[in-house]
């Protein structure tokens, strides 16, 4: 094999691993609700009938977590793409074939995860969105990355505002208003039936029953694919910009930039997140309306700002948060482990805790479980070079079995 062939490199940006570890914690806090609820219930908002302590926990996760951590993970995915491309260019090594193969393998991981473990998978969307980025934005100049990123993040909002405006206009006609109300009511009944059926399957069904249910869940996600995937593309492009602009490659040279975003992102983002939470309490997300469009816009803006604020804060504190780095270094393995263990504990074909984990308890459970993952990651990486999923991903990407065990000195 040529000495210029693209191989995985051992040098790492520790602050990026710290960021991945931090994002992994936030993703678990948010995903925990969806280990205990059917995926389609995302259209219904917060679970009805919660006790006050559960409502408080739900509000905390919604305001500080929902829509704030997957953007960080997505930015880091885009950053990883930019770093790999830069390393390949400096070494005059092939890149595009290797990277597209990497995405294809990630797509397989995503399909296996979606169908056999948990339908809330993000890996499949990452693989498809990453392929789109490679095909259409491989040579986008630095100054345009932000513009395209904001367009893709805003695209679902533009579609929602357009649909809401058309429904509002139709509601000025009495006959159309009656017809639309009947259609929306029927859609809501169908959704409630779908959610109830999925709850029964998750609580009592066999593993095979759950695989069939996850096929239905995948179809549901594909229907709304544009709304899921386009913001991910936008965050990929922001992550690339953070690398090509040198912000995340040499953060020590951009301290003022990160301090400003820490202050602006977290303060303004938190205000918008709280405003969105209050506004969405009385909004029926099943019915396109100007109120729903406004609430979703606030949610999206809050997510973008707080994600940048979190990213900046953790980057500035990366040295003090190095304990998170091993968890971030094997983020793919830890992400899959979270799904594997919690669905086994909760679903009926496992230990059957469905409906037995109150909302308030999900926060300490997530924090405790993540602490175990951090400890496990330290133990594992003291003995092995990669997490198990990372090792498989790398070996298949480079068509070469990667060394796994660390060499004793």
Token duo for residue 209:
């029953």
Rounded alpha-carbon distances, angstroms, from residue 12 to 84, 202, 249, 319: 12, 40, 10, 14
Asked if 197 contacts 329 with a C-beta cutoff of 8 angstroms, the reply is no
Question: Mutual orientation of helices 123-136 and 96-112 as an angle, nearest 10°?
Answer: 160
Neighbours of 54 (CB within 10 A): 17
Token duo for residue 338:
């979270």
Show Cβ contacts of residue 382 under 8 Å, excluding neighbours closer than 6 positions. 406
Give CA–CA dist 380/406, Å, rounded: 10
Asked if 363 contacts 61 with a C-beta cutoff of 8 angstroms, the reply is yes
Residue spans per domain, the chain? 14-397
**pLDDT tens digits, 344-376:** 999 999 999 999 999 999 999 999 999 999 999
Give CA–CA dist 370/328, Å, rounded: 11
Give CA–CA dist 14/22, Å, rounded: 12
The pLDDT score that the predictor gives to residue 288 is 85
Average pLDDT, consecutive stretches of 10 residues, N- to C-terminus, the chain (409 residues): 41 87 98 96 87 97 97 96 85 84 96 97 95 86 91 96 91 86 90 96 97 95 90 96 94 96 98 96 83 95 98 97 97 98 97 96 98 98 96 92 80
Give CA–CA dist 389/393, Å, rounded: 6
Asked if 308 contacts 248 with a C-beta cutoff of 8 angstroms, the reply is no
Give CA–CA dist 289/81, Å, rounded: 38
Show Cβ contacts of residue 329 under 8 Å, excluding neighbours closer than 6 positions. 12, 17, 20, 377, 381, 387, 390
**pLDDT tens digits, 197-242:** 999 999 999 999 999 999 999 999 988 888 889 999 999 999 999 9
**pLDDT tens digits, 150-191:** 999 999 999 999 999 999 888 888 888 888 889 888 988 999
Question: Dihedral (C-alpha) 53, 57, 60, 62: value to the nearest 10 degrees?
Answer: -120
CA distance from start to end of the chain: 28
Nearest alpha-carbon partner for 104 in 74, 122, 126, 80: 126
Place of tokens 């345009």: 144
Token duo for residue 132:
């789109």
């Amino acid at each position: 094999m040529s000495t210029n062939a693209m191989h995985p490199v051992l040098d790492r940006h520790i602050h990026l691993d710290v960021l991945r570890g931090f994002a992994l914690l936030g993703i678990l806090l948010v995903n925990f609700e969806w280990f205990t609820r059917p995926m389609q219930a995302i259209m219904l908002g917060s679970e009805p009938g919660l006790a006050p302590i559960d409502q408080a926990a739900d509000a905390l996760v919604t305001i500080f977590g929902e829509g704030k951590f997957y953007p960080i993970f997505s930015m880091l995915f885009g950053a990883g793409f930019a770093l790999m491309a830069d390393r390949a260019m400096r070494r005059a090594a092939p890149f595009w074939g290797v990277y597209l193969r990497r995405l294809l393998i990630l797509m397989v991981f995503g399909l296996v995860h979606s169908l056999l473990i948990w339908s809330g998978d993000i890996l499949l969307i990452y693989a498809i969105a990453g392929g789109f980025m490679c095909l259409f934005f491989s040579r986008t100049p630095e100054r345009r990355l932000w513009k395209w990123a904001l367009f893709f993040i805003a695209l679902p909002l533009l579609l929602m505002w357009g649909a809401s405006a058309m429904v509002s206009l139709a509601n000025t006609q009495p006959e159309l208003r009656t017809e639309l109300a009947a259609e929306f009511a029927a859609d809501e009944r169908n959704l409630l039936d779908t959610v109830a059926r999925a709850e029964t399957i998750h609580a009592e069904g066999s593993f095979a029953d759950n695989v069939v249910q996850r096929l239905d869940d995948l179809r549901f996600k594909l229907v709304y694919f544009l709304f899921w995937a386009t913001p991910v593309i936008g965050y990929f492009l922001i992550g690339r910009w953070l690398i090509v602009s040198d912000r995340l490659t040499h953060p020590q040279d951009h301290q003022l930039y990160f301090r400003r975003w820490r202050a602006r992102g977290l303060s303004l983002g938190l205000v918008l997140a709280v405003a969105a939470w209050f506004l969405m309490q009385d909004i029926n997300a099943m019915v396109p309306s100007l109120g729903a469009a406004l609430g979703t816009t606030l949610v999206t803006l809050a997510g973008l700002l707080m994600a940048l604020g979190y990213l900046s804060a953790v980057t500035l504190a990366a040295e003090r948060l190095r304990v998170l780095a091993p968890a971030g270094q094997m983020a793919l393995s830890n992400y899959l482990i979270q799904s594997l263990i919690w669905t086994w504990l909760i679903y009926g074909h496992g230990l059957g805790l469905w409906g037995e984990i109150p909302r308030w308890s999900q926060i300490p459970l997530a924090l405790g479980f993540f602490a175990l993952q951090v400890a496990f990651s330290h133990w594992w990486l003291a003995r092995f070079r990669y997490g198990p999923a990372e090792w498989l991903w790398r070996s298949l990407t480079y068509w070469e079995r990667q060394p796994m065990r660390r060499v004793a000195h």
